[in-house]
Structure 1
């Protein structure tokens, strides 16, 4: 049996403060969300990084975003092979069940997953090269992006470019999902790529026509 314990005291006190203020002041709204279900306008696929807080960046309320987070905000290609695919399941639910209007992939600066992938390619992270490494095998998804830039990039410049390639790879892979491709072609949803500079607070969007990231 799993050994589970009471929450740390600091989380308990924070919850109790929210219940007494944030929830109490908006009780009718929360009950409406519970009874009417969720109707998010957008799905956001972002990194697990604790410094990336998409609801704060966009000032979102509860019920506005359907959020999926994983290492390096990657979307795998469409592979209906009977295996367990958490990210693919989230995309399917957002597009086919929730009917979101936008799917947004947001990368960020100083991404540990991307740095790990770079170190792995340089032979500096042998533990990630092991077949038993979940992170390493997940980051293999970035290989197409690395192949696009490796001839012209190195060092920190390569890592910065790889963070943006992670967004582009995910956008490419989203279009391999038949239900995403058909929804995009029918103009039922739009896809968006973003990159967030944590230290400067900047936000760039990917212009596929120019193959460039530009300030929002």
Structure 2
């Protein structure tokens, strides 16, 4: 495959630095993780956005979080149709195999995927409405959230509200997975919704009673 190139030199340099410092100082811990497998307490579903750094926000170490990232931190509805479902597969593995105690959906400010949904649903991004757009088909998951905020006139306020709707829609869809619903009913699992402001470093948590409130 002629299009596959060696790793850029700056990444190789960073790797060797990590191996000589962080890994060397914690080698027994890494070997324990390798030999005994992972046992994370929580699964985090977050956005692909490079500015959202889940482990940094919570000061987490390797092995603490089972992390799944996708465009706009979305969870699709339960739909076992025999097709490819990366997010659903990750949720199934987290709940049924890893037995996580918590699933956290983490949204964020200035989300490009959410902005794309707003543009598509309002008719300003016809290219995303095409069936050939992977992004468009994915962010269609968020359309129910858009319908709830579409009457907000201010564009910035609508996008901010839609970012939080992305968290709420995902939580609603999570509850529709039978194995998630079963774990919730038995008290073995809890769901959590969070939204972070990248610029301010703020973190809000969601409850049905009070909406999003600062942590």
TM-score of the two chains, using structure 1 as the length reference? 0.97
Q: 1:2 deviation in Å?
A: 6.8
Q: How many residues align?
A: 215
**What is the deviation of 1:129?**
1.3
Is the counterpart of residue 63 in structure 1 residue 63 in structure 2?
A: yes
CA shift digits 1:92-122 (9 cap, x unpaired): 0000000001000000000000111111123
Higher mean C-alpha deviation, range 21-30 or range 151-160: 151-160
Distance 1:62 1:2 in 2: 34
Instruction: Report how far residue 5 of structure 1 moved.
Output: 1.4
Q: Distance in 2 between matches of 1:121 and 1:18?
A: 44
Question: CA separation in 1, counterparts of 2:18 and 2:65?
Answer: 20
Match of 1:30 in 2: 30
Alpha-carbon distance, 1:126 to partner: 1.9
Q: Partners of 1:16 and 1:46 in 2: how far apart?
A: 28
Equivalent position SS for 1:38: coil
Give the deviation of 1:130 after TM superposition: 1.1
Which residue number in structure 2 is paired with residue 192 of structure 1? 192
Partner of 1:61, secondary structure, is coil
Is 1:214–2:213 an aligned residue pair?
Answer: yes
The secondary structure found in structure 2 opposite 1:107 is strand
Distance (Å, rounded) in 2 between the aligned partners of 1:194 and 1:13: 35
Contact residue 40 and residue 98 of structure 2 kept, 8 A: yes
Consecutive unaligned residues of structure 1, counting only runs of 5 or more, are: none
Matched, 1:43 2:54: no
- Cα pair distance change 1:83/1:47, threshold 3 Å: same
Instruction: Find the aligned partners of 2:153 and 2:72 in 1 and give their Cα distance.
Output: 19
Per-residue deviation, 1:185:
1.1
Native 8 Å contact 2:108 2:195 kept in 1: yes
CA distance in 2 between partners of 1:43 and 1:131 (Å): 31
Pair 1:175–1:153, CA change in 2 (3 A)? farther
